[in-house]
């Protein structure tokens, strides 16, 4: 009986120690490179097969929302295979339906199935629904990684100019997918019609609407040969100033020409605010910075700070 026992891999390692040294160095370098390239996230990139269906129907009670919106959509969604759980909530002017699928269902496929069934349910929804139901998925990568407040002794219109400049610079970074502004003013042109003057002129709302629509457009004028090259021509008619809108001709004929300013007041103002941001009680504009999925969180933050 041989009293000596030999473990061959160990013996081979001792006899070939140079190869073992080289292999150790190679594995160490590979590990360091893998650590450097390892994505760093604040939250793990979790894929949840959950789809939300949101519908807005202003001026409706929770009971009407349930009967007119929620139930017709739920009836169609229930026929989808792979649905694990279906929940709905009907509140004043708003309906939200949560569709949770089994974990083996891909999010893109789940969203497509839900959207197809919601499209089928549109025939049963109210005809005066201003906006179609919105179908969206849960995506953790859309959560902002940083919030930037822009404040100063300026009005909101001036702050918005600085915010837009900062937004363009931040979005130029390859690690950033988009920047959302909160608390900014949106420009809006208001046309306040005088019903008494319109009645005296024999105008209807459609007459004014068509006149504005047909004036605010760019028309193609075809092609023209210039220096042996074909150039496309177009006639620009988009509104540039408030005066351009006021000078729209509503009606012209044998009598006096009727302009929009004769039957309406045009105001160059701002839309009603739907988002607000505050810093120590003062109005500010907040930039929500959203990182591109798969990019390094630390590198994205560092590049933004150095920018």
pLDDT, tens digit (0-9, with 9 covering 90-100), for 253-269? 666 788 888 888 888 87
CA distance 132 to 233: 37
Q: Give yes or no for a contact between 184 and 156, defined as CB atoms under 8 angstroms apart.
A: yes
One domain, residues 112 and 233: no
Asked if the structure places residue 6 within a domain, the reply is: no
53: tokens are 């269906």
Residue 261 lies in a domain: yes
DSSP 119: H
Do residue 180 and residue 284 come from a single domain?
Answer: yes
**Strand 146-150 vs strand 176-182: parallel, antiparallel, or unpaired?**
unpaired
**DSSP-derived secondary structure for 267-294:** EEEEPPP----EETTEE-EEEEEEEPTT
Q: Which of 131, 145, 136, 128 shows the shortest CA–CA distance to 51?
A: 136
Specify whether 98 is located in the same domain as 76: yes
133-147 pLDDT, tens digit per residue, is 999 887 666 778 888
Mean pLDDT across the chain, nearest whole number?
82
Query: Residue 141's pLDDT is what?
Result: 67
Range of the domain at 169: 142-186+273-306
Q: Count of CB atoms within 10 A of residue 71's CB?
A: 15
In a domain, 20, yes or no: no
> Within a domain: residue 101?
yes
Higher pLDDT, 95 or 280: 95
Report if residue 22 sits inside a domain.
Answer: no
Establish if 16 belongs to a structural domain.
no
CATH code for the domain of 281: 3.30.70.1320
Same-domain status, 97 and 165: no
* pLDDT given for residue 253 in this prediction: 63
Mean pLDDT lowest among 61-70, 113-122, 223-232: 223-232
Does a structural domain hold residue 177?
Answer: yes
* pLDDT given for residue 70 in this prediction: 92
Q: What is the pLDDT of residues 192-242, one digit of tens each?
A: 888 888 888 888 888 888 888 877 777 776 777 777 787 777 777 677 788
Q: Is 292 found in the same domain as 158?
A: yes
> Mean pLDDT across the stretch 100-124?
88
With tokens 């919601």, the residue in question is 118
Q: Are residues 146 and 295 in the same domain?
A: yes
- Asked whether residue 182 falls in the same domain as residue 283, the answer is yes
Q: For residues 54 and 118, state if they share a domain.
A: yes
Q: How confident is the model at residue 53 (pLDDT cuts 50, 70, 90)?
A: very high
β-strand pairing of 146-150 with 285-291: antiparallel
Cα 274 to chain centroid, rounded? 15
Kindly report the length of the chain.
307
Sign of CA dihedral 127, 129, 131, 134: negative
CATH code at position 68: 3.30.70.1430
Distances (CA, A) of 29 to 13, 32, 122, 185, 257: 20, 5, 59, 53, 82
Radius of gyration of the chain (CA): 31
Task: Please indicate, yes or no, whether residues 64 and 110 belong to a single structural domain of this protein.
Answer: yes
State the total domains in the chain: 3
Q: What is the CATH number of the domain that holds 195?
A: 3.30.2090.10
Quote the CA–CA distance of 305 and 307 in Å, as a whole number.
Answer: 5
Is 64 within 8 Å of 148 (Cβ atoms)?
no
In a domain, 40, yes or no: no
Q: Are residues 148 and 297 in the same domain?
A: yes
Q: Under DSSP, is residue 26 helix (H, G, I), strand (E, B) or coil?
A: helix
């Amino acid at each position: 009986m041989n009293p000596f026992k030999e473990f061959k891999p160990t013996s081979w390692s001792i006899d070939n120690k140079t190869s073992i040294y080289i292999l150790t160095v190679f594995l160490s370098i590979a590990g360091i490179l893998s650590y450097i390239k390892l994505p760093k996230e604040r939250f793990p990139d979790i894929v949840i097969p959950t789809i939300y269906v949101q519908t807005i129907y202003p001026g409706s009670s929770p009971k009407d929302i349930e009967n007119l919106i929620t139930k017709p959509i739920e009836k169609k969604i229930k026929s989808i295979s792979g649905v694990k759980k279906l929940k709905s909530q009907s509140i004043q002017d708003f309906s939200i339906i949560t569709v949770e699928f089994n974990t083996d269902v891909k999010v893109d496929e789940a969203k497509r199935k839900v959207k197809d069934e919601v499209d089928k349910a549109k025939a049963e929804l109210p005809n005066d629904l201003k906006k179609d139901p919105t179908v969206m998925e849960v995506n953790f990568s859309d959560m902002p990684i940083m919030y930037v407040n822009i404040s100063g002794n300026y009005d909101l219109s001036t702050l918005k100019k600085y915010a837009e400049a900062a937004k363009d610079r931040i979005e130029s970074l390859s690690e950033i997918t988009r920047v959302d502004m909160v608390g900014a003013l949106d420009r809006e042109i208001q046309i306040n019609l005088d019903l008494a003057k319109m009645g005296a002129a024999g105008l209807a709302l459609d007459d004014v609407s068509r006149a504005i629509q047909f004036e605010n457009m760019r028309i193609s004028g075809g092609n023209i040969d210039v220096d042996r090259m074909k150039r496309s021509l177009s006639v620009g008619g988009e509104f540039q100033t408030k005066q351009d809108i006021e000078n729209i001709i509503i009606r012209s004929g044998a009598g006096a020409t009727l302009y929009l300013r004769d039957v309406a007041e045009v105001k160059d103002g701002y839309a009603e605010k739907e988002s607000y941001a505050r810093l120590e009680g003062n109005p500010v504009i907040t930039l929500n910075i959203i990182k591109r999925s798969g990019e390094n969180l630390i590198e994205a933050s560092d590049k933004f700070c150095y920018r």
